[in-house]
Structure 1
Amino acid sequence: MTSNQRLSGIIMALSAAIFWGISGTCAQFLFEQKQVDTAWLVCVRLLIAGAILLGISLSRQNTDAFAIWKNPSEAAQLLLFSIFGMLAVQYTYFYSIRLSNAATATVLQYIGPLFVVAFYAIKHRRWPILAEYASLLLALGGTFLLVTHGSFEKLVISEQALVWGVLSALTLAYYTIQPVQLLRKYDAATITGWGMFIGGLVFSFFVPPWKTSGQWDGATWAAFLYIIIFGSLLAFYFFLTSVTRIGATTASLLCSVEPLSAALVAVLWLNVPFGKMDWLGTACILLTIILLTLGTKPRKTSAQNNPA
């Protein structure tokens, strides 16, 4: 690998993280200022992004996007991933944004990798190593600072926002773990494309995508298209490409800038209050990701470790 390829991989991983972070802030803008329904946005985003990803997968040579449906067991796994992984993580994350803000919701979701570590520790019946214990303390401390600002008497976000933020982290962990076997056999774009499209299709029975909500003007369309194009398609493509050039460990570590990008854009664009305790809590949770990435043995997980 040449130095130019490695540099391009680093730039792509950072770009993917920034795209994801800004996407969350665009969602907050649509919820707060344009009254766009959370469930509708999730449904339409999944349907459009999933259809385009499937189209890309079908256009590739030597790729059979329908092969997975020929195996009942794999088809069942894909359905579980689509509903309880892809759809669940998207909805819990966006609803957490609605209840709090993009910065807080994104940071809370980033405790998800800690649940992944806990799952594998239980599965393999091993005690966590020192880096994992340190990550646990940092994650708990960071979350405490983020939601209480250091006070033992009250929360600075609603209890609902905290619950949905933690649910977002749990569904992120499931999203990361559940499709491992499928991703060892099938192309990541195919699995993600099917996951998005099926998740959106299932959700459309409850949230008709043709019934739009909110105030639609130029700013609404700009934020909506950003979420679809940059926050879904390009972010996913850039991250996958970066993994092939710099490896999953480095790419995942670089994607830790996502909460920072979400926080900065939310503060500068939407004037979200983000004080010293918020930044300190964010730093603690980011250190968690760094410790888990550098201090533990890499495992094969979902190709896209952040679905935001």
Structure 2
Amino acid sequence: MLARFAVIAGALLWGTLAIFVKKLTFYGFTEMEIVTIRVTGAFICLIPIAMATASMNQLTIQLRHIWYFIGTGLFSIVFFNWAYFTAMNMMSISIAVMLLYTGPAFVAVFSAVFLKEKLTGQKGAAVLMTVTGCAVIALSGDSSTGNWTVVGFLIGLCSGLGYALYSIFGKVALRNYSSMTITLYTFLIASICLLPFFPFWKKAAGMPLEGWLYMTGLGLLPTVFAYLLYTYGLNKVETSTASILATVEPVAAAMIGMILFREQLNGGQLAGALIIVSSILVISYERKKSGRLAA
């Protein structure tokens, strides 16, 4: 039960991401610069946390396992963050985050093929609901409202693919390493690969204190804390289950979009969002049923 709460808490923190992206975009940062700020800030924040909670032996990895962290760091974190931030700036926050949650469909397929996890009827139904919800949102798109573009929609789907890859690579890495080790090396690899090409500090030098606070917050709240919680939960529940549980993120993100940024959803978009969120009830029913059988 604690692991499931950890997944949900991590997802809720991810839901606050739009606040930091919008603010840093206002200060003139590009999407890739914001990705670089996020991964670098996260890595810096993780260093003292890792040193305080783990021994050097626990933080040591084998070179032959470096592909785990290339997968979580580049193929997932960098790719999906760029796609997500771009979709968020091209469309509304609510639509961008809903498209991110095509992730469970990718996860279910990848988990069955590569991790040999069983695709149960409830999981299949929940994934189908998630995909259906995204399809309803797509069909309800209206470019005249300013919150919908075809390119933005396609990029949003790419964010779902990248999001799914973190679950897959993370699950494999958990066979050999702790959640702290995985998170630390994920952001180390991402930082090393991005910093030479996106020197965000040149723009940051002239920013007011508020801008620096948003940069720091981006590295901590929807990044370090969120990923530690999610990766911990991933160690205790199946990948596809964790991914579907994390669909509480769209609720938080949509509320932030409507309350703070005055965004609106039309009837079809709202219906699609409700279908996605309802998938949580389906997977929760599966867990409850499984618990009764075990007892």
Report the equivalent of 1:49: 42
Mapped contact 1:25–1:103 kept (Cα < 8 A): no
Match of 2:262 among 263, 267, 271: 271
Equivalenced residues, count: 284
Residue type matched to 2:224 in 1? L
RMSD: 3.5
Structure 1: segments with no counterpart, 5+ residues:
298-308
Q: What is the CA distance between 1:97 and its match in structure 2?
A: 1.4
Partner SS for 1:228: helix
Q: What is the CA distance between 1:252 and its match in structure 2?
A: 6.3
Classify 1:255/1:175 alpha carbon distance in 2 versus 1 (closer, same or farther; 3 Å): closer
CA distance in 2, matches of 1:77, 1:243: 15
Q: What is the CA distance between 1:260 and its match in structure 2?
A: 0.7
Residue type matched to 1:39 in 2? M
Of residues 194-203 and 176-185 in structure 1, the stretch that sits farther from structure 2 once superposed is 176-185
If the length of structure 2 is used for normalisation, what is the TM-score?
A: 0.80
Q: What is the CA distance between 1:123 and its match in structure 2?
A: 4.5
Q: What is the CA distance between 1:174 and its match in structure 2?
A: 1.3
Mapped contact 1:87–1:200 kept (Cα < 8 A): no
Q: Does 1:17 align with 2:11?
A: yes
Match of 2:98 among 99, 102, 107: 107
Residue type matched to 2:16 in 1? I
CA distance in 2, matches of 1:133, 1:254: 14
Report the equivalent of 2:293: none
Match of 2:215 among 224, 227, 247: 224
Residue type matched to 1:276 in 2? G
Partner SS for 2:199: coil
Of residues 137-146 and 103-112 in structure 1, the stretch that sits farther from structure 2 once superposed is 137-146
Mapped contact 2:94–2:253 kept (Cα < 8 A): yes
Mapped contact 1:24–1:106 kept (Cα < 8 A): no
Residue type matched to 1:49 in 2? A
Classify 1:229/1:295 alpha carbon distance in 2 versus 1 (closer, same or farther; 3 Å): same
Residue type matched to 1:256 in 2? T
Match of 2:64 among 58, 61, 73: 73
CA distance in 1, matches of 2:202, 2:195: 10
CA distance in 1, matches of 2:70, 2:85: 21
Of residues 247-256 and 101-110 in structure 1, the stretch that sits farther from structure 2 once superposed is 247-256
Q: Deviations over 1:131-183 (max 9, x none)?
A: 344334423321122223278xx996111111111111111111111232321
Residue type matched to 1:90 in 2? N
Mapped contact 2:126–2:244 kept (Cα < 8 A): no
Q: Does 1:147 align with 2:141?
A: no
If the length of structure 1 is used for normalisation, what is the TM-score?
A: 0.77
Instruction: Give aligned-pair identity as a percent.
Output: 21
Task: Map 1:187-226 to 2 at 5 A.
Answer: 187-212=178-203, 216-226=207-217
Report the equivalent of 1:58: 51
